[in-house]
Structure 1
Amino acid sequence: MSMDLLSIARTGVLASQSQLAITSNNIANANTEGYNRQVVSQSSLESQQLGSNFYGAGTYVSDVKRVYNDYAARELRIGQTAVSEAQTTYSKMSELDQLFSQIGSAVPASLTSLFGGINSLADIPDDLGLRDSLLSNAEQLANNVNQMQLQLDGQMGQTNDQISAVTERINEISNELGNINRELMKSQGQDMQLLDKQDALILELSEYAEVNVVPLESGAKSVMLGGSIMLVSGEVSMQIGTKPGDPHANELQITASSGGNSLVVDASKIGGQLGALVDFRDDTLIPAQLELGQFALGVADAFNQAQSQGFDLNGLVGANIFTDINDPTMQLGRVGAFSTNTGNANLGVNIDDVSSLTGSSYELSFTTPSSYELKDSSSGNITSLTLNGNTLEGADGFSIDIASGVLASGDKFEIRPTSSAATALSVTMTDGKGIAAAGTSITSDAANSGNSNINLISIDNRNAPGFPTTGAELTFEIDPSALPPTFEVFDAQGNSMGVAAPYTPPNISANGFTFEINSTAVTKDKFTFDLSFAEGDNSNLVNMAKLNETKMMNGGSTTLTDVYENTKLDVGGKTKSAEISVGSAGAIYNQAYTRVQSVSGVNLDEEAANLMRFQQSYQASARIMTTATEIFNTLFSSLR
């Protein structure tokens, strides 16, 4: 019987040692990130029969388990993805919001200064100092727009760098998970330290993207990103990467590859940090750049058009102050051809009406034999374009020229009419004398159809016979429906100065000046010209000053300042929304984390109580061994 007691006590001591070891390990790892507490399962040894009775034979450790709840862990991963995505979005939006609020505030301020210079010059239109000061104000505005675009380009580069860094870390985790899976297959998923490391890596991975986990019978886990990208399958690790964007190389695309196969991933479905970075770039940063370009085009077109309506200090038609809106430098980046195109067409975009631009981007697709569709990326609206010669017409404020080559069925292009304008905006006028302070007088006849527009191109010779001045105005009767189109000139008394003469649209040169006629009229229209010039005239400057409050953008709904301020307000609104999302996502994550900790986390009070309990159990089992020894010695002594 003493030998049985010794054996039973021995099993109790060994079991208590295991309990003490596991409890001690739990306590030691109470602050270890990703550690799941462990518990020891004890079972009774099979009873032994002695006579007609059965006697217990002690205990043994039947299992050591990780306390792990797969559902709670999944909820934690989902919460981690949501909070990481919200925090990344808020961080990027905050940077952009501060950029518009600080550096960007110089843009509307310099536009205000430019209008202030116009008002000052209107008081003394012949003052050369004020003229040079006005050009300096224009240069400051252009520089501030350039600087703002440079800052947005910096944001683009930084975001792309972050995207690349996240994909590199995802690949590192992928390789580590593949190695862990290989080791777990050897132990059939029994190595708890490896399981903890595996879960910690998967939880970190859920920061970068949405994660779906598929447990395998071998103890390994397959991991998918975004519900569709297999990142780890058993011990095989896939790779996530980046490649130049299509059609814009500086807008990185996400790729998934295994072996020699690679495919482009829809980043909008990835989630987490990676999805937030791509969404920020595509949905906020690029539109902000395009809207800044819209503002730049609006400034250049408004002031250049105003210049063309007046005379400079030399009595000539005002030249451009800013870069022409269709200058080659302004056109860079307006068209991007997709790599899948099979045709060889080279396209160009010409801005026809700045007021009709929206700051949006478009997708142009061609289907044989003659279907040209333009899809607005913001609204999704589709417009059918008409090919007129080599020009596609019918878009919002712009036309598309097929400069060379031909389109093949299925070819697609991304059209960004306002791209690069903020980078290329500059002051081209170098002499303040060129500012057109004096106004011209071109009057449309009341009976006109309203389908003709006149733009004065140049003053060729003020001393030419019949040059129109006050009291000697000239009236041009234009017949655009004739073949060829014709014009006839009448003096101030209504007498014809010659028979109707043909002209080659759109320009007419006569009597010492040249003007442009744009007409769709089918009847004759009349325009009266008084091109008198007076050095003290400020009428054109007065009209130019009114541009500050004129709603000339977005179809006549907003002013120049509104275009910029609306972008700023949109960024601010998104920033506030992102801040709210961080709070709600954080609350959900904290609930999931608390749930996991309540199941798998180490409670030091509970472990301390267990430590005392197992210590007492160990001492009691050791006391049984002592008792058994004493009984054995007593029996042994009685036989001597």
Structure 2
Amino acid sequence: MSLLNVGARALLANQVALQTTGHNIANVATAGYSRQSVVMQTVPGQFTGAGYIGKGVQVATILRNHNELLTRQAAAAQAVQSADVTRAERTAQLQDVFKGGTEGLGAAITDMLNSLGDVIAAPTDLTARTVTLTRMDEMAARMRSSAEQLQQIEYSVAEQLKTDVVRVNQLAQGIAEVNEQIARVKGNGQTPNDLLDRRDQLIRELNQHIQTTQIAADDGSVGVFVGGSQALVLGASAAQLSVDESQLFPGSRQQGLYFVRPGAAPVELNEGMLGGGRMAGLLRFANQDLAEGRNLLGRMALAIGTTMNYQQKMGLTLDGAPGEALFALPAQATGATRGSSQGRIDLASTATLSPTQFAASDYEVRFSNVPPAGQVVRLSDGKSFGFTDLNDLRSQQIDGLVFDFDAAHPPTANERVLFQPFAGAAANMQMLVYSPRDLAAANPINAAMGTANGGTLQLAGLKSTGLQWNGTSVDATGAVTPPPSPTPPAITGGGVTLTFDANGQFTLGGATSTPLDMNNQPPTLLPGPPYAYVPGQAIHIDGWSITLQGAPKAGDTVTIGNATDPQYGDLYTRNAGNASALQQLRDVKMFDEATLSDGYASLMAQVGTRTQSAAYAAKLSDSIASNLEASRTAVSGVNLDEEAAKLIQYQQAYQASAKMLQVAQTIFDNLLQTMGR
């Protein structure tokens, strides 16, 4: 009987081994499956006077080949990889918006500025003026088109976040259900291998969307936490996530991820708290990369539009009227806040804006616990600017912007207000001037050298600047005080006269204010009279400037007159001084030390740097994740060659066990026959 029992046990044990090997082979392609091995142990022997007689083998357990540390490391690495790859894919889409070539925005800006050359050469040519206005309209259209593409990317990111949230909630519920099943069977003393594999696979998939940490419980369940400490799954219960606009700054277009547990207020999780996962990559892209792209484009639109509008108003149309704005731009940027204060930046005010100082950034005004003191923080680099009260804040020009708050709605303690001055500028850019006669190409002033001049004075430049002394400093008011016209009934004379003395200095006749010294920072009044003359250096008077070259002699004069005076007739129509000033804007350092004509190349470089950085991070994290997954698979994966060898091994052992039963049966039958005689 003992031999029969030994054979039966061996047969059953090897049958289990064959079944387990077949289970491994069947699940070779099953995601998350861990190879299983049969652990056999000897049945305790029977004691006799001759020693212990063996009683065969039995199956101790079905072992799950699994390394907890490698599994968690691989899941965390995959979460980081998913975030980096997602961000790299999205930044590549962002880079496609700012393309180069003839169809790019840079070409449109260049074409617009170059077209002014034909207007300068032929100021009265309506065809040349029409071409220039068409180029301006095309530039504005490409600004809007680029902004629309950014909006489409923003929309797709928001939709992807919503889809991911739905999947995360499904996975969390699935993990909770498996937790319940595992806890229910935990008491039988054996591990439910397939259920554990299923739970680990759900956690791995969950980490593709949002990085998690896991803590095991005594009942076999696992708690899953996101955002550092928020319990997404506890035992058999699961919380939920949702995505919506950030509560911190309503109306700011910033995306926020919220942890929602029944009976409790939602908790906002920013991308910095998430670690990894596709949702973290999407949030970082939406709130940082895409925001910078909008700001770079908006800054360009606002700077170009503001400066060209300003200079257009400095000139005269073909009908002798002052120029009107070329482009429609946003009037102001309103601060987004959950508090009571109402803040704004009056973007339409050229008296306060300085486009050459614009930084492509959002700004946050943070009031202290004793308002209205606080600081303005430039979010692109974290630099702060302090202020003691609202008047102090209003008096400062920060990166060319002036922040203003309504005194009737004072800020509260620790209130934070977000400003996005450039976010919508490109999307709202529209051409306003369509008649070629309304292009203000002419200067509102004329200049003439004295007929009796004996020196070598020559006119090098004449344009309207709109720079005026306000009593304490220089303002870009956009106002030009024209030289006085002849007093009726005289039809000649008038104007502002520069008269030079033997020392090369000059005095003014007919001017209403003192010349400005723009070489000082901040600018001051020029000492005098008499005033120093420097060849090639502009002389700023009454909102216009004149640049002279050469050496004057005593008594030499230069007269600057009002271009619309009857004494000059329609001479102003053949003047293109303001068109030249518009074209010269391309050489002004407008964008982070880049000129207007090179500003788009600088924008492309900044976006390209972000894209390259994101691609490098994705490549690095992909390598790390692949190595860790390979290490995990080396422990848990199924090797078909190995399983085929085990099949042969267990098959032979099974056949031998069956033979043992046959032999035992034969012996038993012979014994019965012998005993029956």
Q: Under TM normalisation by the shorter chain, which class is it?
A: 0.7 to 0.9
Query: Which consecutive residues of structure 1, in runs of 5 or more, have no partner in the other structure?
Result: 477-491, 502-517
1:388 to 388, 391, 416: 391
**Residues 22, 176 of structure 1: alpha-carbon distance in 2 compared, 3 angstrom cutoff:** same
Equivalents in 1 of 2:489, 2:77: separation in Å?
78
Q: 2:354: which partner in 1?
A: 353
| 2:334 aligned with 1:335 | yes
Encode CA deviations 1:29-60: one digit per residue, 9 max, x unaligned.
11111111111111111211233432111111
Alignment of 1:307-322 (within 5 A): 307-322=312-327
Q: 3-state DSSP class of the match of 2:13?
A: helix
Deviation at 1:14, TM superposition (A): 0.6
**Residues 472, 464 of structure 1: alpha-carbon distance in 2 compared, 3 angstrom cutoff:** closer
**Residues 369, 453 of structure 1: alpha-carbon distance in 2 compared, 3 angstrom cutoff:** closer
Q: 1:400: which partner in 2?
A: 403
**Residues 390, 196 of structure 1: alpha-carbon distance in 2 compared, 3 angstrom cutoff:** closer
Q: 1:266: which partner in 2?
A: 270
Contact map agreement 2:484 2:496 (CA 8 A) in 1: no
Alignment of 1:587-606 (within 5 A): 587-606=623-642
**Residues 354, 221 of structure 1: alpha-carbon distance in 2 compared, 3 angstrom cutoff:** same
Deviation at 1:362, TM superposition (A): 1.0
Q: 3-state DSSP class of the match of 1:587?
A: helix
**Residues 637, 411 of structure 1: alpha-carbon distance in 2 compared, 3 angstrom cutoff:** closer
Equivalents in 2 of 1:523, 1:436: separation in Å?
34
Q: 2:502: which partner in 1?
A: none
Q: 2:373: which partner in 1?
A: 371
Equivalents in 2 of 1:493, 1:52: separation in Å?
134
Moved more, 528-537 or 131-140: 528-537
Q: 3-state DSSP class of the match of 1:382?
A: strand
| 2:596 aligned with 1:560 | yes
Letter in 2 for 1:388: N
| 2:283 aligned with 1:278 | yes
**Residues 291, 454 of structure 1: alpha-carbon distance in 2 compared, 3 angstrom cutoff:** closer
Alignment of 1:86-101 (within 5 A): 86-101=84-99
Equivalents in 2 of 1:493, 1:610: separation in Å?
107
**Residues 561, 247 of structure 1: alpha-carbon distance in 2 compared, 3 angstrom cutoff:** farther
**Residues 464, 185 of structure 1: alpha-carbon distance in 2 compared, 3 angstrom cutoff:** farther
Q: 1:540: which partner in 2?
A: 578
Equivalents in 1 of 2:628, 2:464: separation in Å?
74
Deviation at 1:457, TM superposition (A): 4.2
Q: 2:589: which partner in 1?
A: 551
**Residues 358, 27 of structure 1: alpha-carbon distance in 2 compared, 3 angstrom cutoff:** same
Identity %, equivalent residues: 24
Letter in 2 for 1:90: A
Q: 1:480: which partner in 2?
A: none
Equivalents in 2 of 1:80, 1:467: separation in Å?
88
Deviation at 1:253, TM superposition (A): 0.7
Contact map agreement 1:184 1:219 (CA 8 A) in 2: yes
Deviation at 1:248, TM superposition (A): 4.3
Moved more, 217-226 or 276-285: 217-226
Q: 1:201: which partner in 2?
A: 202
| 2:290 aligned with 1:254 | no
Q: 3-state DSSP class of the match of 2:320?
A: coil
Equivalents in 2 of 1:347, 1:374: separation in Å?
13
Letter in 1 for 2:640: L
**Residues 432, 463 of structure 1: alpha-carbon distance in 2 compared, 3 angstrom cutoff:** farther
Q: 1:49: which partner in 2?
A: 47
**Residues 62, 293 of structure 1: alpha-carbon distance in 2 compared, 3 angstrom cutoff:** same
Deviation at 1:390, TM superposition (A): 9.7
| 2:609 aligned with 1:573 | yes
Alignment of 1:128-147 (within 5 A): 128-147=126-145
Q: 1:168: which partner in 2?
A: 166
Q: 3-state DSSP class of the match of 2:430?
A: coil
Q: 3-state DSSP class of the match of 1:41?
A: strand
Q: 1:584: which partner in 2?
A: 620
Q: 2:304: which partner in 1?
A: 299
1:423 to 406, 427, 434: 427
The number of aligned residues is 591
**Residues 436, 466 of structure 1: alpha-carbon distance in 2 compared, 3 angstrom cutoff:** farther
| 2:122 aligned with 1:124 | yes
Contact map agreement 2:65 2:635 (CA 8 A) in 1: yes
Deviation at 1:269, TM superposition (A): 2.5
Deviation at 1:617, TM superposition (A): 0.8
Equivalents in 1 of 2:604, 2:230: separation in Å?
36
Deviation at 1:266, TM superposition (A): 2.4
**Residues 21, 468 of structure 1: alpha-carbon distance in 2 compared, 3 angstrom cutoff:** farther
**Residues 627, 347 of structure 1: alpha-carbon distance in 2 compared, 3 angstrom cutoff:** same
TM-score by length of 1: 0.85
Q: 3-state DSSP class of the match of 1:165?
A: helix
Q: 3-state DSSP class of the match of 1:255?
A: strand
Encode CA deviations 1:145-183: one digit per residue, 9 max, x unaligned.
011011111111111111121121111111000011011
Q: 1:158: which partner in 2?
A: 156
Equivalents in 2 of 1:468, 1:430: separation in Å?
38
Letter in 1 for 2:361: S
Contact map agreement 2:100 2:107 (CA 8 A) in 1: no
Moved more, 538-547 or 22-31: 538-547
Equivalents in 1 of 2:222, 2:626: separation in Å?
25
Contact map agreement 2:179 2:236 (CA 8 A) in 1: yes
Q: 1:18: which partner in 2?
A: 16
Deviation at 1:454, TM superposition (A): 7.3
Alignment of 1:611-622 (within 5 A): 611-622=647-658
Letter in 2 for 1:374: V
Equivalents in 1 of 2:497, 2:182: separation in Å?
94
Encode CA deviations 1:332-388: one digit per residue, 9 max, x unaligned.
xx233322x1x3535444452112211211111234354142111122121124633
Q: 2:192: which partner in 1?
A: 191
Query: Which consecutive residues of structure 2, in runs of 5 or more, have no partner in the other structure?
Result: 446-462, 499-506, 514-521, 530-540, 543-558, 565-570
Encode CA deviations 1:218-244: one digit per residue, 9 max, x unaligned.
111111224332211111211111122
Q: 1:435: which partner in 2?
A: 439
Equivalents in 2 of 1:164, 1:454: separation in Å?
47
Contact map agreement 1:268 1:278 (CA 8 A) in 2: no
Equivalents in 1 of 2:240, 2:476: separation in Å?
62
Contact map agreement 1:174 1:238 (CA 8 A) in 2: yes
Equivalents in 2 of 1:623, 1:132: separation in Å?
103
Deviation at 1:549, TM superposition (A): 2.1
Equivalents in 1 of 2:71, 2:341: separation in Å?
53
Encode CA deviations 1:374-420: one digit per residue, 9 max, x unaligned.
11112212112463399453422121233452222322211122231
Letter in 1 for 2:21: T
Letter in 2 for 1:572: G
Contact map agreement 1:81 1:210 (CA 8 A) in 2: yes
**Residues 450, 309 of structure 1: alpha-carbon distance in 2 compared, 3 angstrom cutoff:** farther
TM-score by length of 2: 0.81
Q: 2:218: which partner in 1?
A: 217
Contact map agreement 1:104 1:148 (CA 8 A) in 2: no
Contact map agreement 2:366 2:417 (CA 8 A) in 1: yes
Q: 2:177: which partner in 1?
A: 179
| 2:325 aligned with 1:289 | no
